[in-house]
Structure 1
């Protein structure tokens, strides 16, 4: 029962939208009505600069760190940790607090992944950099790297359940970035 409540709490943590808060504090504006309308670090960066981008990215990343760190502290299973990761990311992408229109989840995912498995994160970063050199596109390099994360995790942990759960997380990340992927491929 505690695990279910924790996963629900993870979704609620995901609903804390750093970009929305930063823009309200900075100029009182609603970020959904400004720039691209996206509730994420990239839009904040375009609107108020690097400092706003960094604050937002760190805040969103900390959501993932907090949720996975808490799950580890409570000694939850790897499966509950991955379900919590899924919940915090879904909370960021589809927050009920902003009528289910949030950010794209990159910083939250990276913070959660780093806390969940630093070695997988390191391998992801290396793969990302290789793809970036080849593809010359951050979006395509990131999504290519994301697509390989479940395989990397399977190789390291030999857990089919972890592979499937991480596959679901990655599928959601690719789904929400699909328009950007298609744009880069055209």
Structure 2
């Protein structure tokens, strides 16, 4: 029973919006109201600079990693690990503490994937970095990384449950980026570091 309590715990942890909390601590504008209006590290970078964005990013990644580390320490079944990861991810997307209006889930998904396997996390992060370096577009990097992530999970873990969980996350990441996809097709998507 204690093992299954990790699922709601992961959701509640995921529901803590790092972007909103960090913005309040740094006395920055609410990221849900300015810039892209997305409570994520990229928007915090535009609104408040690198330090606030870095803390936001670490907080969002930690929300994915920590619950999975706890699940693995308890030597839980892989199905529980997959559910814990999804719970943390959906907590970020639909946070109970912030009227179920959360971010797009990129950093938290990276944390979850890293919790599945550190090698998956590294491969996904390197994909994001490579695409972002070339294009200077965060959303494009996130989309490419999210599409490739299930293949990395399959290659490094060979677990159907974890692959299934990563596919669910990828589909939601793509859905949450539908506005970005529109702007990308129109050549109007903002580049990394551009001020709001």
Q: TM-score range by the shorter chain?
A: 0.7 to 0.9
* Deviation, structure 1 residue 134: 7.0
Distance 1:180 1:110 in 2: 19
Where relative contact order (Cα < 8 A, 6+ residues apart) is larger, the structure is: 2
Please give the secondary structure, in 1, of the residue aligned with 2:108. helix
Match of 1:103 in 2: 103
Distance 1:96 1:156 in 2: 33
- What residue ranges of structure 2 are gaps of 5+ in the alignment? 187-196
Match of 2:184 in 1: 184
Distance 1:58 1:130 in 2: 19
* Deviation, structure 1 residue 133: 6.9
Moved more, 156-165 or 27-36: 27-36
- What residue ranges of structure 1 are gaps of 5+ in the alignment? none
Q: How many residues align?
A: 186
Distance 1:179 1:130 in 2: 22
The CA RMSD measured in Å over matched residues stands at 2.3
Greater share of helix residues, 1 or 2?
1
Distance 1:130 1:55 in 2: 22
Q: What CA deviation, in whole Å up to 9, does each residue of 1:79-124 have, x standing for no partner?
A: 2112111111111111121111111111111122223211122332
Distance 2:173 2:76 in 1: 24
* Deviation, structure 1 residue 35: 3.2
Distance 1:60 1:152 in 2: 21
On the 8 A contact 1:65/1:111 being kept in 2, the answer is: yes
* Aligned pairs for 1:103-182 within 5 A: 103-128=103-128, 131=131, 137-182=137-182
Distance 2:96 2:81 in 1: 22
With normalisation by structure 2, the TM-score equals 0.83
With normalisation by structure 1, the TM-score equals 0.86
Moved more, 94-103 or 31-40: 31-40
Please give the secondary structure, in 1, of the residue aligned with 2:102. coil
Please give the secondary structure, in 2, of the residue aligned with 1:100. coil
Counterpart check, 1:69 vs 2:69 = yes
